[in-house]
Amino acid sequence: MQTAPCLVFDVGGTKLRAGLYESDRISREMVVSTPNFLNRPDMLTREIRGALFSEMQSLAGAILHDRKVDKVSIAFAGPIDSNGSVLAAPTIWGRGSGPYPLREEVQRLWPEAEVSVLNDVTAAGYRYLRHPSDDICVLTVSSGIGHKIFVLGRPVVGPNGRGGEIGHLRVDTSDEAPVCDCGEKGHVGAVASGRGVLLAARKRAQQQPASYRRSFLGQRYSRPSAINNAAVVEAFHAGDRWVHRLVRESAEVLGRAIAMLHCAVGLERVVVIGGFALALGDGYRRELARAAGESCWNLGERWDAMVCLGEADDWSGMIGAGRYAMGWSS
Ligand SMILES: [Zn+2]
């Protein structure tokens, strides 16, 4: 029987992707909805996990046919400890779902394969390493914000895996600060994510109705509550100054966080990924680079070259998981 080198999964909050990793590429990609606590409200957490494993097996069957697989590698949306256990998965299993030995459970599905489990942003970081001992920061800006720093090709998350969570740094100490996914107020992820920008747009549209009505966005959405992220992105690309100001303000918050990482550990390459950032594109990247440069001293850094966008596809988690399993970590 022919053997496939590496079966990869990217288990996100909404999408479950699977594919075959070969020659640093993904083939036979398949995508389904991730069974989660929102779309399976009548299920217990252990039943939702069972549904995830059934989906993974059926995707694997369609991808591999009757081929055997040597390695299975999973990028997962949650912090992972060194044993491949999930510490938390609020977007999939809800808050307070507790530690879960994911690697061990997946090993039962493919007992003959070598199984790896890694955080999805960490996995994405492996994709953007230019060589196995590269130093980079991968930063994701979507409904939330996350990052991972790689030093000498390895993710740096500290002895207890608590690092790589710049989204939970508090930057707004006011009483009206927006609430973060984690439940606390004023975090970078609440202020500068796609969700944060959307909430800020709705709030400002209510507070400043006259300027809002004159904007590109205001002419399309008379009710602020009807604004969505796609509309924000469209208005940004259309050159709407009202939206551009909002996006710039969010980029200033994140730019300061990038400058802090640079000042702390000297990182000179920041790869920005995530649906919101990639949809906004180069205009957003330039705002981040400018804000980072203005947030620290000047040692001749070329911020415009240091902050770059990742690939605008959905393969970063799978390619990174494949690279990790095939030995880029060694
Ligand atoms: Zn938070």
**For the chain, what percentages of helix, strand and coil (3-state, to nearest 5) are there?**
45, 20, 35
Which ranges of the chain would DSSP assign to H, the alpha helix?
45-64, 90-93, 102-109, 120-128, 188-192, 194-207, 209-214, 216-220, 229-237, 241-265, 275-280, 282-294, 303-306, 316-323
Place of tokens 């966080």: 257
Rg (CA), the chain: 20
Asked whether 165 and 144 are in contact (CB, 8 A), the reply is no
Distance between CA atoms of residues 250 and 288, nearest Å: 9
> How much distance in Å is there from the Cα of 275 to the middle of ligand 1?
19
Report helix, strand or coil for 109: helix
Percent of the chain with pLDDT over 70: 98
> How much distance in Å is there from the Cα of 202 to the middle of ligand 1?
21
Least confident range from 90-99, 126-135, 151-160, 295-304: namely 90-99
**What band does 144 get if pLDDT is binned at 50, 70 and 90?**
confident
| Mean pLDDT of all residues belonging to the chain | 94
**What band does 133 get if pLDDT is binned at 50, 70 and 90?**
very high
Q: What angle do CA 28, 7, 330 make, to 5 degrees?
A: 130
> How much distance in Å is there from the Cα of 180 to the middle of ligand 1?
5
Distance between CA atoms of residues 51 and 49, nearest Å: 5
Per-residue model confidence (pLDDT) at position 13: 87
> How much distance in Å is there from the Cα of 166 to the middle of ligand 1?
9
Per-residue model confidence (pLDDT) at position 41: 93
For 253-288, the pLDDT digits (tens) are: 999 999 999 999 999 999 999 999 999 999 999 999
**What band does 2 get if pLDDT is binned at 50, 70 and 90?**
low
> How much distance in Å is there from the Cα of 314 to the middle of ligand 1?
24
> How much distance in Å is there from the Cα of 254 to the middle of ligand 1?
14
**pTM exceeding the 0.85 threshold for the entire prediction:** yes
Q: How many CA atoms lie within 13 A of 220 on its CB side?
A: 14
> How much distance in Å is there from the Cα of 43 to the middle of ligand 1?
27
Which residues place a Cβ less than 5 A from the ion ligand 1?
Answer: 168, 180, 182, 187
Q: Is the dihedral of CA 27, 33, 35, 38 positive or negative?
A: positive
Tell which phi-psi region holds residue 65, choosing left (phi > 0), alpha (psi between -120 and 50) or beta: left
> How much distance in Å is there from the Cα of 84 to the middle of ligand 1?
23
